[in-house]
Structure 1
């Protein structure tokens, strides 16, 4: 009995020592992470844009990099790594070291639409560290300024009266331009074939098609439309912004016109990192983005580009992207769209 008791006590003591050792290792790791975050960044940070230079994503990234000059303590270098609808640059960041020196300017197409609609995509929507949503880039449905459709009700009535006759421009079936227009048809209880999509190379070409009269309407990112709207060449029918836009105070929102579900269809930018970023680094970035949110220069630049400043913290960002993936997954399933 004495021997068994001694053996049990010995085992218990060994377990206690192991627990203490594990706890000390955890504390040491936390301390090391905090110390690394204190020194971070001590060299330039690369911000990967998974699309070409000059587009909405590139402009959002360069605006963020410029606004961080005085608060970050190191340069933020924007690098364009375009291709495969944004998946090449996104995968590059997913596979990078989680040290905070390689980050991603995520967009709705690369972080929500592709994961929702492409079964063989090399990454999943949640294969990243979510740092923060930066801005919303609302969709705006427009017609040519000379069009006979004066408002959204006029357009919807014409589509109902002439099914399959009116057309709209997109940048491809699995893009937010097409999905926004289809969401509009769905919200108006119209079938997906009620209006005919015409695909162009990109958002600018889709806008030009409305300006030239090749198509009847388009739903595009405000950034691509704002100059033409202010130049009285395009007429706004509806915006997907939650409130009226500062630059377009007369443009009605989707909710005002009885289409509240359209609010979820919007472009956006978010800052993401590789999986496994240290909690201390994430907390540091949360604080940095809070400062960005108070930066008047950044907010003005965002609004000038036709976007809405909307800084979200990590948990809210993860929830937001998850909801976006679900939204576009449901739309893609309803429309029979799958990216191959």
Structure 2
């Protein structure tokens, strides 16, 4: 073997060893939150950030990339290099409701690889404590009378569909159009709209509302569960004769671009199991009414697609499909 050939072989060997040593992650990971500060997604993401960062062993750079009911941030991750350095906090609105409602959405579920769902939470419907609305019957009467407005985190978001679904269940004719929808840029802004009187009514995840309810700023009228939710002194959907509303739940998961490698996805599975088992994280999230349940990539994919099919049927039944 010539010295030139030997040198080439050695160089190749060194490069191969170097590649083996370069294990993911080598640097900080960008974590996209597709909704604004103060909403359910933002709260969940920032609560798990510390234990998740400890499990990853590298900094997590949290960024709220808002707009279009979660679509703007989702597209940013869809178009990112599938190397695991740009990941998304996927949410029921961005990856179940949005695909079900919007015909022109610039992505489908197939454009992402879900590595987990780790949080499930029910919805609650609330008004300001300054409101004259004391019950769902009062809300329905307002909608049928002088008018009822409701806020949401955006057109095609979970709160948009939830409020319409609840009002329809309680008998409001043409619920998709009879109540006045006032979309906002994120869940925090949707809650603020109710607090300042811009909107009358809001249906969203308990995790985004528990602080306002506990400090007396908001009055819960309903929780979309069979059993009562701690901290929410309100009747359940089932107790009011509407068990069909139990299918309206929120969830938070993590996804990367569709071509995310198997080894990267597997690492996220390990990290999420460790992070979601952190006692302080679990305590904080359960205090907000959330249920912590870590799903494998396969379980998460099955769950999210079932949610999509459920909401697609609801959208068709309510005539809420957005074609333009």
Output the TM-score relative to the length of structure 1. 0.76
Partners of 2:151 and 2:182 within 8 A in 1: yes
Deviation at 1:205, TM superposition (A): 5.1
Distance 1:145 1:272, change over 3 A: same
**Residue in structure 1 matching 2:125, options 125, 128, 141:** 141
Partners of 1:86 and 1:110 within 8 A in 2: yes
Structure 2 segments unaligned to the other structure (5+ residues) = 1-15
CA deviations over 1:135-159 (Å, ceiling 9, x no partner)? 134321123446565544x447746
CA deviations over 1:60-116 (Å, ceiling 9, x no partner)? 222222112332222222123333332232122222232222211112222222222
Partners of 1:109 and 1:176 within 8 A in 2: yes
Partner of 2:180: 197
Alignment of 1:199-278 (within 5 A): 199-202=182-185, 203-204=187-188, 206-208=190-192, 210-211=194-195, 216-241=200-225, 243-248=227-232, 250-278=233-261
Distance 1:183 1:53, change over 3 A: closer
Alignment of 1:43-82 (within 5 A): 43-82=27-66
Deviation at 1:190, TM superposition (A): 3.9
**Residue in structure 1 matching 2:74, options 90, 112, 118:** 90
Whole-Å Cα distance in 2 between the matches of residues 50 and 106 of structure 1? Answer: 8
* Alignment: residue pair count: 303
Distance 1:70 1:204, change over 3 A: closer
Deviation at 1:51, TM superposition (A): 2.9
Deviation at 1:262, TM superposition (A): 1.5
Greater gyration radius: 1
CA deviations over 1:211-234 (Å, ceiling 9, x no partner)? 466665332332443233222343
Whole-Å Cα distance in 1 between the matches of residues 227 and 275 of structure 2? Answer: 22
**Residue in structure 2 matching 1:335, options 311, 318, 321:** 318
Output the TM-score relative to the length of structure 2. 0.79
Whole-Å Cα distance in 2 between the matches of residues 277 and 207 of structure 1? Answer: 35
Whole-Å Cα distance in 2 between the matches of residues 214 and 88 of structure 1? Answer: 25
Distance 1:225 1:312, change over 3 A: same
Whole-Å Cα distance in 2 between the matches of residues 237 and 173 of structure 1? Answer: 23
Partner of 1:282: 265
**Residue in structure 2 matching 1:323, options 300, 306, 315:** 306
Whole-Å Cα distance in 1 between the matches of residues 265 and 22 of structure 2? Answer: 12
Deviation at 1:121, TM superposition (A): 2.1
Partner of 2:169: 187
Q: Which runs of 4+ in 1 moved over 6 A?
A: 35-38
Structure 1 segments unaligned to the other structure (5+ residues) = 1-31
